[in-house]
């Protein structure tokens, strides 16, 4: 068993976090969220998504948000892109880095993007062509890797095949999503075992949602296997409106507290993260829900 000295956190609250919120936030609040996150030591912050505003009304102001933050130095701000139209908007906005997404489950693909799994890979091929022409780096997400709200468990070999395809298309990193947070540690390990047969572990990230309170245990489990990049969201915000039962991502503050305690550095200031968690929760009309934020704010 070996643990690393450092781990990378990809902050997804401005995109995955906000997309599931029904209370529409002002653009200024989203910009302020990203600006505050940018002071915490985070190096990658997924800023927004260029998806259809009919499908995700909360992120209809993607261009305005991106325009306001794109010149913050030394931070990678990927934006989520579903198709060529979204890629066109991302390029126009000046994005240097994007994320594409598909799923291990065909039904989830249909519900989330109105196309089959095969069609989603064809869309990604077209996005990749544009990305290569414009020297844009691309991260790939695979959803429902530990369970689908419509199809249940999907064979890990299916996720592994898709990961290989995305990697061969040119995605520099593949983020394995437990979209509805049903995973548990031994299954999370089996998923990684399957995927590392197809792509190097150094190109795998893990994206756990905390619906059943398993996310930290899953992170610990796959850390043991060598995964070194974890997606997280301040205040545990997040979920996908097209994944029935999906709730928040693992809270960034919970992950950093655990890693700090294990002597694993992220370069991120926990107190600052908790302050951002409090800011965005209050903007949404509530208190932070993560245990770490609640405990630190009470002291």
Tokens of 35: 């600006």
What number of residues does the chain have? 299
85 is an interface residue for ligand HMG by CB under 6 A: yes
290 is an interface residue for ligand HMG by CB under 6 A: no
46 is an interface residue for Mg ion by CB under 5 A: no
Q: Is residue 240 among the annotated active site residues?
A: yes
Cβ-based burial of 2 (10 A; exposed 0-12, middle 13-18, buried ≥19):
exposed
* Alpha helices for 43-198 (secondary structure H): 62-69, 84-93, 106-113, 117-133, 156-169, 185-195
Question: For strand 229-232 and strand 8-11, is the pairing parallel, antiparallel, or unpaired?
Answer: parallel
Total residues contacting Mg ion by CB under 5 A comes to 1
R_g of the chain computed on alpha carbons: 17
Helices (H), strands (E): how many in the chain?
12, 9
231-270 footprint of ligand HMG as x/- string (CB under 6 A): ---------x-x----------------------------
178 is an interface residue for Mg ion by CB under 5 A: no
**CB contact at 8 A, 208 and 16:** no
How many whole angstroms separate alpha carbon 238 and alpha carbon 275?
A: 18
Q: Which is nearer to ligand HMG, 176 or 292 (CB)?
A: 176
CA angle 216–223–289, rounded 5-degree value: 20
Among 11, 14, 16, 138, binds Mg ion (CB under 5 A): 16
CA angle 273–254–20, rounded 5-degree value: 80
Stretch that binds ligand HMG, among 50-58, 124-132, 166-174, 260-268 (CB under 6 A): 50-58
Stretch that binds Mg ion, among 9-17, 52-60, 112-120, 252-260 (CB under 5 A): 9-17
Q: Which does 198 bind (CB under 5 to 8 A by kind): ligand HMG, Mg ion, none?
A: none
Cβ-based burial of 8 (10 A; exposed 0-12, middle 13-18, buried ≥19):
middle
Q: Which is nearer to ligand HMG, 101 or 156 (CB)?
A: 101
The tokens 């994007």 sit on which residue?
A: 98
19 is an interface residue for ligand HMG by CB under 6 A: yes
Taking the complex as a whole, the smallest distance from the CB of residue 265 to ligand HMG amounts, in Å, to 26
Q: Which is nearer to Mg ion, 16 or 253 (CB)?
A: 16
86 is an interface residue for ligand HMG by CB under 6 A: yes
Check 109, 148, 171, 240 and give the catalytic one. Answer: 240
How many whole angstroms separate alpha carbon 181 and alpha carbon 148?
A: 10
Among 140, 147, 177, 183, binds ligand HMG (CB under 6 A): 177
Site residues (vs Mg ion, CB under 5 A): 16
Which residues participate in catalysis according to the annotation?
Answer: 240
Q: Please give the residue ranges that form the binding site for ligand HMG (CB under 6 A).
A: 16, 19, 49-52, 55-56, 82-83, 85-86, 101, 112-114, 141, 143, 177, 179, 207, 240, 242
């Amino acid at each position: 068993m070996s643990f690393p000295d450092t781990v990378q956190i990809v902050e997804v609250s401005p995109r995955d976090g906000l997309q599931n919120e029904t209370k529409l936030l002002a653009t200024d609040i989203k910009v302020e969220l990203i600006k505050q996150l940018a002071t915490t030591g985070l190096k990658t912050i997924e800023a927004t998504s260029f998806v259809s505003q009919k499908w995700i009304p909360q992120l209809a102001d993607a261009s305005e948000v991106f325009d306001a933050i794109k010149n913050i130095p030394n931070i990678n701000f990927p934006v989520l892109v579903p198709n060529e139209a979204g890629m066109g908007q991302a390029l126009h906005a000046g994005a240097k880095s994007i994320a594409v997404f598909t799923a291990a489950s065909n039904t989830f693909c249909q519900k989330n993007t109105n196309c089959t799994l095969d069609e989603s890979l064809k869309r990604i091929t077209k996005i990749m062509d544009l990305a290569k022409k414009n020297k844009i780096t691309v991260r790939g997400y695979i959803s429902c890797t530990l369970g689908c709200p419509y199809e249940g468990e999907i064979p890990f070999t299916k996720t592994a095949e898709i990961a290989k395809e995305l990697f061969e298309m040119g995605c520099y990193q593949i983020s394995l999503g437990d979209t509805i947070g049903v995973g548990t540690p031994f299954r999370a390990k089996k998923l990684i075992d399957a995927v590392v047969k197809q792509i190097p572990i150094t190109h795998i990230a893990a994206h756990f949602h905390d619906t059943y309170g398993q996310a930290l245990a899953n992170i610990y489990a796959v850390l043991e296997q060598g995964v070194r990049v974890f997606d997280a969201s301040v205040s545990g915000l997040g979920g996908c409106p097209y994944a029935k039962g999906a709730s928040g991502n693992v809270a960034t503050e919970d992950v950093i507290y655990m890693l700090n305690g294990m002597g694993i550095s992220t370069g991120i200031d926990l107190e600052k993260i908790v302050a951002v968690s409090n800011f965005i929760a209050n903007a949404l009309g509530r208190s932070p829900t993560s245990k770490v934020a609640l405990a630190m704010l009470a002291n």
